[in-house]
A and B are shown apart, each in its own frame.
Chain A
Amino acid sequence: MAKLQTPRVKNWTGTLKKIWQYLSRQKRLLIVIFLMVLLSSATGLLGPYLLGFTIDRLDSDASTLTLLLVLLAGTYVIHSVAMWLHNYWMIGVAQRTVYQMRTDLFRHLHMLPISYFTKRQHGELMSRLSNDMENVSQTLNSSFIQVFSSILTFIGMLGLMLWISPLLTAITLTIIPLLYFGMKWITARTGRYFKQQQRHLGELNGYVEETLSGQRIVKTFSQEPKVQLAFKERNEQLKHAAYWAQVYSGFIPKLMNVLNNMSFAVIATAGGLMALKGGITIGVIITFAEYARQFTRPLNDLANQFNTFLSAIAGAERVFEVLEEDEEAKDEQDATQIVSIHGELRFEHVSFGYGEDEHTLRDVSFHARPGQTIALVGPTGAGKTTVTQLLARFYDPDEGSIVIDGRDSRSIQRTSLRQHIGYVLQDTFLFEGSIRDNIRYGKLDATDEQVERAAQEANAHGFIQKLPQGYDTLLTQDGSGISQGQKQLLSIARALLADPSILILDEATSSIDTITEIKIQEALIRLMKGRTSIVIAHRLNTIRRADQIVVLQDGAIVEQGSHQELLAIEGAYADMVASQFTEKPQHA
């Protein structure tokens, strides 16, 4: 991935507009801030003027002088207070904006289809939320006000200069086109490097996240040198892009400086020549030189801000990129909420593939009456988990339909449908937090008693009590501290608490030892009673009792029927059962 095309900041004005949409929500406060900036800039200009005025009258009488000093003190106080206020408020505006953008980003992620996440690195997405937003935050904090006050000061200065000497002002202003072309040259380069820098930063973040998550494997395989090398590669790419971004953007203040110095020199020379001809006095030259210095300062500030500004635009663009990803397909217009589900379930000629030319499921049809248990069996990769994913509408079938209680599942709102489906997934996932909170995830308003009862039924109560802090034991994200099997027990308890109408058990007990499994079998049977259940398991004795067994191979159904029926036809299922029991231990 050494030399990819160099990305540019695609759409400046578009990105700016979008940021403005966020800012404009606080329009009123922004107006107040603007007024305060006006006040502080005005008092900022007034101060030096009054100071000069006072100095000229240092030898006048005490009362005049006192009045002037009091006036000056007032100006200074107002200046400081106005400045403090606009800073204070602006930080609020900026942080609220950043907060809103982060929240929107997060919320939007939840609306994206599952397929979005299977193609992205977690760390890369995280980088958008942290590093890219950080750039936006820094810019908003300071640049906004800087821009205002710089423009105001600039206008003020310009007015004063014009008033003193229009000709000299015109000469001074000759630096503006130079400035324009210089900036144009620089920004043509910086934009693309900033964009590159943020992208490489994201990639680095992604790599770090992935390898740190898999640290155990890195270690046991002694692959530290390998990941260090791969990290180094990404680190170098980042350094390269960041270096050029910094160099080019570093030119900006230098450009300002040279123009500043040049205008000083120009004023000295041109002013000197004009003075020779008697057009102006020396005093004017000095005032002018001083003003010219002060007048380029706001421009200088602006230029400096431009730096942060560029990297912020690059960052914001990456954030908006995610925000503009298509959401999980919208529910169909006439899709409704459902209050309850009986649990009649029908797959009608369902075909589905994750990609273009894959066929994970082909023409799958089966029917479950309310309360029935359907077992899905078959070799790995046969499409069992895919069936359950279609049921929860993580994906929709390419062909055929899924009918629930007589209605096409596409006519039911996704969230409404999922509310009635309980899941115990193959990959148990627990959150950082207490054990209690993790079980309660199944039903957020459950009482402590309900949580403990669910844990008891899932046979998890025993081990939880042995933990140092019992139900309040904190689980770390990588789940160290409790075993895989215990995690499965917790996720069963979580599903028990959720009390769904349709239950999906995808290898729910694969890491649980068989004795414990028998103990929770009863709870599972109780759990499945009155609910339509779909069970995936490799240990065949756990699914014997199913009302119907569906045998999948390569995405297609090869057999279906009850345990007895399938044994009778002596097909694939009978084979599997035989293989499991041929190795049946001899009598002792």
Chain B
Amino acid sequence: MISFLKPYRKAAIIALVLMLVELAVELWHPLLLAHVINEGILAEDEGAIWKWGSIMIGISLLAFASGIINSFFAAQVSQGFGYDVRKKLYDRMQSFSLTAFDRYSTSSLITRVTNDVIQLQNIIFMGLRIMMRAPLMMIGGFIMALTVNVKLALILVVVTPLLLGFLLFMMNKGFSMFRRVQGQMDRTNGVMRENLMGMRLIKAFVRSRHENTRFISENVQLMERTAAALRLIETTIPVLLLIMNVSILFVLWRGSFHTDANIGEVVAIVNYATRMTGAFSVFSMILSTLARARASAARVREVLETDDPAEQQQPGAQPFEMRGTLAFEDVSFTYPGQSSPALSQLHFTAEAGQTVAVMGSTGAGKSTLFQLIPRLYEPSAGRIRLDGKLLSELSLESLRKQIGYVPQESLLFTGTVADNIRWGKEEATMGDIIEAAKQAQIHETICKLPLQYDTIVGQKGVNLSGGQKQRLSIARALVRTPKLILLDDSTSALDIRTEQRLLESLKQVDCTILMITQKVSAAQAADQIVLLDDGHVRAQGTHDELLKRSPLYKQIVQSQYGEEATGTDG
């Protein structure tokens, strides 16, 4: 984490120096007071009083100036640091493969980017302003006490390391407790997020009370864990005070009964001990912040250091021009953490320009198959070739740039309709966008929206029907003029007419199309149908071929058109 401070080394040093100036002024003041007394009052010299008095005021102003400038530098360091950490975290998350991404819950990642970073910023800002003071004060007091009278100060030699040990112990304990607090914060946030996403369902099932109970149980945990952690930390100051005060008593007791120390020495040591006590209590406050920050730092580091072998590309992979011949060679895939494979021994080829329909029952592995193509996951065995080259040898960016992927659940981002389509291709002109919208059969609908292409959609946007969202996400894929289109059951919410028009317009596009579909009507226009069952390719061929060869396919056709559709004796 410290390495994040490097760019701000200069500012940090300036802030620290300015802090020392302030400290020096504060320590100098009593000496100046002595001058006022000795040269002014005792020597009965009014001029000296004025002279030393104005020096005191002057250096006070100097300290003030340093303090104000310190504020700027300290804020610059801590905010710059926070900014950098957030940026690095977010960039790292963006570079995750889905395998690594799935390891964290979304709400946990969110908490890490915001809340945890704030904890870290706090400690840095504090550090640059007051943190150094306490240890300096403590060390100074300790040394001074020893020089006054070693025998009397002996108790401090015993107590100081003990207290330091105690503080370290508390900090370690506090660290693990605050870690649990942050973890619980993730879970509480998680329930909140889930409720926001599923609010319609919750209302429909009248489950507010149930959800409240669920939230309350997480919330209670959060309350209890936070209280426990804080209580532990807050115990330190009273304990510390007590121990230091008792040591003072000890000094007094020894001073009066057992040693030959004079009163002056006793007074001095007691004085230093009280100053150390003050420093200790500031110290423990710092420690509580530190414990919390350490817990957060660990969580931030965890993300930054996640071991993620995937999502890497062969060094030197060049951008390439895709033609669109896609071959699966004995490809198997098992989701991380699952025992049975989602795909096994998949083998088929889609020629450039072909339309391939992928069919199969729910859970047969259709969507999984699609996710392997833009390399969201890597196959566990076998090879995928594109234009004869291994997928893993190609430039990942270039590969994805030429694929138009339309996921099953159409997710739009907050922004205008045009923004959402432009998402597919940064440099798309308004003409390109409208063209894509027309191809996706959504242009007319957009024109009816209050602000047409400038209407806000997404989490903060207008109500769109399921079919409208699907077509927008198809437009988003089409605008990039892909060489390979992946349609993951992306027309399920479309009525037949619209679907047919859409498929018709897709035929005009020069590219390979892989489409998952449930509808025979859509599949029979394809050049090839791949029928999946339980992760295996059960049959493949054209509609007519499959109708002859595959009982499963025949069943599917019957399910949609009735017995008469397949003839009686096939």
Contact = CB atoms under 8 A, between A and B. Distances in A.
A511 B50 contact: no
Interface string B458-476: 1111111111101100001
Interface string A218-231: 11111110111001
A87 interface: yes
B219 interface: yes
Interface in B74-122: 74-76, 78-80, 82-83, 86-87, 90-91, 93-95, 98, 101-102, 105-107, 109-111, 113-115, 118, 121
Contact of B200 (A103, A114, A201, A463): A114
B363 interface: yes
A161 to B, nearest CB: 17
Given A76-B245, A576-B497, A426 B466 contact: yes
B113 to A, nearest CB: 5
A91 B493 CA distance: 53
B557 A220 contact: no
B242 A239 contact: no
A480 interface: yes
A121 B468 contact: no
Interface string A43-72: 000011001001100110010010001001
B500 interface: yes
A262 B570 contact: no
A566 B548 CA distance: 35
A214 B94 CA distance: 11
A366 B210 CA distance: 35
Task: Identify which of A209, A221, A478, A518 gathers the most chain B CB atoms within 10 Å of its CB.
Answer: A221
B212 A272 contact: no
Contacts, number: 518
B204 A392 contact: yes
Contacts of B143: none
Interface stretch (B56-64, B158-166, B324-332): B56-64
Contact of B79 (A219, A246, A482): A246
A101 to B, nearest CB: 10
Which of the four size classes fits the interface of chain B? Answer: 35 or more
A182 B271 CA distance: 33
B359 to A, nearest CB: 7
A373 interface: no
Nearest to B402: A222
A185 interface: no
B44 A276 contact: yes
A268 B32 contact: yes
B205 A242 contact: no
Contacts of A246: 71, 74-75, 78-79, 125
B202 A264 contact: no
Contact of B70 (A107, A254, A442): A254
B353 to A, nearest CB: 21
B63 A55 contact: no
Nearest to B243: A80
A305 interface: no
B222 interface: yes
A309 to B, nearest CB: 15
Task: Identify which of A58, A69, A285, A517 gathers the most chain B CB atoms within 10 Å of its CB.
Answer: A58
Contacts of A517: 559
A65 B249 CA distance: 11
Contacts of B267: 55
Given A247-B72, A265-B53, A231 B414 contact: no
Interface string B198-222: 1111111111101110011001101
B241 A221 contact: no
Interface stretch (B1-9, B148-156, B169-177, B253-261): B253-261
Given A268-B32, A477-B105, A87 B234 contact: yes
B197 to A, nearest CB: 6
Contacts of A400: none
Interface string B38-62: 0011101010011011101101110
Nearest to B564: A587
A575 to B, nearest CB: 8
Nearest to B552: A515
Contacts of B215: 103, 106
Interface string B489-533: 100111111101000000000000000001111001100000000
Interface in B217-254: 219-220, 222-224, 226-227, 230-231, 234-235, 237-239, 241-242, 245-246, 248-249, 252-253
Given A285-B37, A357-B450, A585-B543, A258 B114 contact: no
B339 A379 contact: no
A130 B205 contact: no
B468 A380 contact: yes
Given A88-B234, A222-B397, 4 more contacts: A91-B234, A251-B68, A511-B518, A514-B556
25 contacts: A47-B245, A59-B256, A72-B249, A87-B237, A91-B230, A110-B195, A121-B460, A206-B459, A213-B106, A235-B83, A258-B61, A261-B29, A261-B64, A264-B33, A415-B208, A423-B201, A477-B105, A477-B190, A485-B361, A485-B363, A515-B555, A538-B496, A576-B495, A576-B496, A588-B566
A-B pairs, top 3 by smallest CB distance, nearest first, are A380-B467, A485-B362, A269-B53
